[in-house]
Amino acid sequence: MTDNHTFSDNQTRKTWTKQQILSLYNKPFLELVYEAASVHREHHDPNKVQISSLISIKTGGCPEDCGYCPQAARYHTEVKIHELLPVHQVKAQALRAKQHGISRVCLGAAWRNVKDGEEFDQVLEMVRTVTKLDMEVCCTLGMLTENQAKRLEEAGLYAYNHNIDSSEDYYKEVISTRGFEDRLETIDNVRKTSITVCSGGIIGMGETIEDRCDMLRILANMYPQPESVPINALVAVEGTPLEDQKPVSIFEMVRMVATARIVIPTTQVRLSAGRTSMSQEGQALCFLAGANSIFAGDKLLTTPNPDIHQDKQLFDQLGIVPQAPFEKHPQRPVVEAKDAEVHALGERPKWSRPGHKIERNELAKAAGTINGSDEALVETKSE
């Protein structure tokens, strides 16, 4: 295995400031879209878009307090908890996705962090199984150590998703149970392997335009830059602290996609959560501005998402073809469990737990709309 990232050596390193990115974001709309579309064509086929599928391999019961997430145990949402799926069920879902032209499968577990043991071993087997279907496999499992990242690499993992969510300043207004630095450390641990990085964020959580641009600054100044950047529009879910947030406009979404495309030119900009509220014309504008990946299927973890047949119709109208797997980066070799050279260390890392008070969460607790106790943290108190 390697940690030299030859797949990113063609990147030209540039250090962006927040003000530079803000100036781009605030350009006249059509000028911004034109510039982004031009950059997009320099690095990508404008008529190819990757279709990805997200499988929730373990749903609900998460001990974190991410204000946007209906899977947090402390919030009163309609998410039903289910434990880790068996490998054969994940394989069946991946095969169905492949039949629809989907080239990438993301396996998501509602965990705070990866823990060595039977469940992680089961996830490693899922990665091996789906990779051998000639599909790109991405995992989003929470925080993980360098050794755990290397075990995923041996299993053949193509990408690891760990979003930074927002700017470092605004992050504190959304999450209090883990620190922003833990996000960056996890990404750094992934970078010590040949696994590609998928990291982006969410707009519409009450943040300012400056926060959005600062989030892009952090991503753009990573070296290598993330190979995948999801841009999510908040889907406000009843029972979460952000349930009353107003949806972002399509123009905000296009601006964010276009700015991301300019400052992170070689990445796959992923049009992620929030597509159900976008018109086909709005989505076409996003593709023009540089988005070249979507998530297909009727659910995105726990929130609604357009049906694959609707996406195929849109692709036909626009003359877009699905991107094949491994077009951007080579397939990882799969090392079977019995031949693995990297083994569990039984680590118990001390990830941070800032514990500061978030005003809107405190108001929600007082109103009884979210759990005010620490019962949801029992699972991780021993970490």
Question: How distant is the alpha carbon of residue 331 from its chain centre?
Answer: 20
Catalytic residue positions? 62, 66, 69, 106, 138, 198, 270
Q: Which residues contact 104 (CB under 8 A, 6 or more apart)?
A: 50, 51, 52, 53, 135, 136, 137, 138, 158, 159, 293, 325
Helix or strand or coil: residue 29? helix
- The pLDDT tens digits for 30-44 are 999 999 999 999 999
Confidence at residue 7, expressed as pLDDT on a 0 to 100 scale: 39
Confidence at residue 305, expressed as pLDDT on a 0 to 100 scale: 52
For residue 234, give the DSSP letter.
-
Q: Rounded to an integer, what distance in angstroms lies between the CA atom of residue 119 and that of residue 380?
A: 15
Binding-site annotation: residue ranges for [4Fe-4S] cluster: 62, 66, 69
pLDDT at 376 over 50: no
Binding-site annotation: residue ranges for [2Fe-2S] cluster: 106, 138, 198, 270
What residue ranges do the domains of the chain occupy? 14-325+344-369
- The pLDDT tens digits for 85-97 are 999 999 999 999 9
- The pLDDT tens digits for 288-311 are 999 999 988 654 444 555 678 888
Beta bridge partners of 304: 299
- The pLDDT tens digits for 192-240 are 999 999 999 999 999 999 999 999 999 999 999 999 999 999 988 887 8
Residue 120: closest CA among 157, 95, 170: 157
pLDDT at 381 over 50: no
Q: What is the CATH number of domain 14-325+344-369?
A: 3.20.20.70
